[in-house]
Amino acid sequence: MTNQLAKDFLEKKSAIERLQEIMGMLRDKVHGCPWDLDQTLGSLIPHTIEEVYEVADAIEKNDIDNIVDELGDLLFQVIFYAQIGNEEKIFNFEDVANAIVRKLLRRHPHVFPTGDATSFGRGKKISADEVVTNWESIKLEEKKEKLDESNSESARSVLDNLPRALPALQKSVKLQKLAAKVGFDWPDTSDVLVKLKEEIGELEEAIGKNNKQEIESELGDVLFTAVNMARHMNVDPELALRGANGRFKNRFVWIENELGKNGEFVSDKNIDDLNQLWNEAKRHEIELD
């Protein structure tokens, strides 16, 4: 690339155009990168999932520079998929961008009442909860339209089309929300709590039988019902579990540090000593708050 071409590349193109061009160069059959050339839509999946978690981690740490960096990595994944789609003549970046534009216009009737950007500013004020309710209703209508267009009898469940690669916790939330939209739901939080206690009782019975398969099944029911409780309490179970993970790590590290002051290790202590230290770690945590 000549100096003038390099200058034009940097100054006359938008950031997204530069990114698309670089992606094209990386996939160039003659001068491109061997690893990038080997990738397919399918092979990128684990890398995309990893990038999403890295974005979440950066946000949780409130590391602004890292957030920008990780979002760039995630955007690169989108550009990568679009490049492969364009090469295979099945879709391109414009298709991807236009698809989300159409979706946003349709799913925000309170902002775009006529379904296009020209109606911006003429919408009505609604609450955030109403936005979520409308969003889910519109999604359900979209799904019904797709089902009407389909000739497949196997695609008639409201639970169809959930991504298979979703983490189990997130999939539980989505399954329950979809079922609740058509009335399959506990009417009250107290009912869910009763069900949770019932499932714990069944887990205890399975443990008493020492039946591993039954224990796994009943433990899954306990976890699924706990997610249901979170949904009824308007708590994000993923955030709740992340919080629990964080508290566990902080308390465990505190115990390690306290023992380390005397040259001791966790493995040196019995369960009673560790329980006492755990309670001290919790008190220390409360004092810091």
pLDDT tens digits along 14-40: 999 999 999 999 999 999 999 999 999
Distance CA 147, CA 154 (A): 10
pLDDT in tens, 213-232: 999 999 999 999 999 999 99
Distance CA 142, CA 230 (A): 27
pLDDT at 137: 84
pTM for the whole thing? 0.68
Residue 144 clears pLDDT 60, i.e. is over it? yes
- Mean pLDDT (whole number) for 263-285: 94
Residue 192 clears pLDDT 60, i.e. is over it? yes
- Mean pLDDT (whole number) for 58-72: 95
Those residues with Cβ within 8 angstroms of residue 13's Cβ, 6 or more apart along the chain or in another chain: 21
For residue 260, which of 269, 271, 270 has the smallest C-alpha distance? Answer: 269
Residue ranges of domains in the chain: 7-155, 185-235, 239-288
Burial degree of 227 (CB within 10 A; 0-12, 13-18, 19+):
buried
May I ask the CATH class of domain 7-155?
A: mainly alpha
Percentage above 70 pLDDT, the chain:
92
Residue 128 clears pLDDT 60, i.e. is over it? yes
pLDDT at 78: 98
Distance CA 56, CA 50 (A): 10
Contact 226, 176 (CB under 8 A): no
Distance CA 184, CA 65 (A): 44
DSSP designation for 234: T
